[in-house]
Structure 1
Amino acid sequence: MIPLVEFCVNNLTPEVLEVKNKLEQDPGIDVLEYGCLGNCGICAQGPYALVNGEVVAAGTGDDLYRKIKEAIDEMEVRY
């Protein structure tokens, strides 16, 4: 199962865009961008993405990247 990471266009600050670009370089990860993911409260607070439908939020772009990779690793262990 290929992990899916989804980003909200309204949350694509330069640091989140860097995370998105890094993830897009990995052929084992599907990355999508939407106009809105419907998580406006989380979106307004800081960097976040959905990993296979689960919210992953962080204080910085670097933390978001690390947490996304951890979520993907956990998913691979389960399956």
Structure 2
Amino acid sequence: MFGIHLIEVCDANEAASPALYQLEEKYPVTIIENACMTQCELCAMSPYVFFNGEIVTEDNVEALMMRLEKEIQQALALD
């Protein structure tokens, strides 16, 4: 049985993109979009999300999506 894997994203951050929501179709993850995640300096600098409570950030959305896929696959392997 799969564990619950959670991705949280600020609605003002560029990570809140269609590519992010496609991960829900591909993996057993839940995405929650928040109005603010109190990471304003980080939010202004780069795309980021919280994955299972840990900040994941990259220089651009494409790199973030690739990293998230790896993070999700690793987490699923541990389930």
The alignment's TM-score, normalised by the length of structure 2, stands at: 0.81
Amino acid at match of 1:22: Q
Deviations 1:3-54 (A, max 9, x none): 101110110x3x6412222123235111110001111121111111110010
Partner of 1:26: 26
| Residue correspondence of structure 1 range 1-79 to structure 2 within 5 A | 1-11=3-13, 13=14, 16-26=16-26, 28-79=28-79
Aligned equivalents of 1:40, 1:53: Cα separation in 2? 17
Conserved in 1, the CA contact under 8 Å of 2:21 and 2:31? no
Deviation at 1:75, TM superposition (A): 2.1
User: What root-mean-square deviation, in Å, do the aligned CA atoms of Structure 1 and Structure 2 show?
Assistant: 1.8
Q: Which stretch shifts more, 66-75 or 48-57?
A: 66-75
Q: Which has the higher helix share?
A: 1
Instruction: Figure out how many residues of one structure are paired with residues of the other and give that number.
Output: 77
**Contact 2:11–2:35 (Cα < 8 Å) also in 1:** yes
Q: Unaligned 5+ residue runs, structure 1?
A: none
67-76 vs 39-48, greater mean Cα deviation: 67-76
Query: TM-score, normalised on structure 1?
Result: 0.81
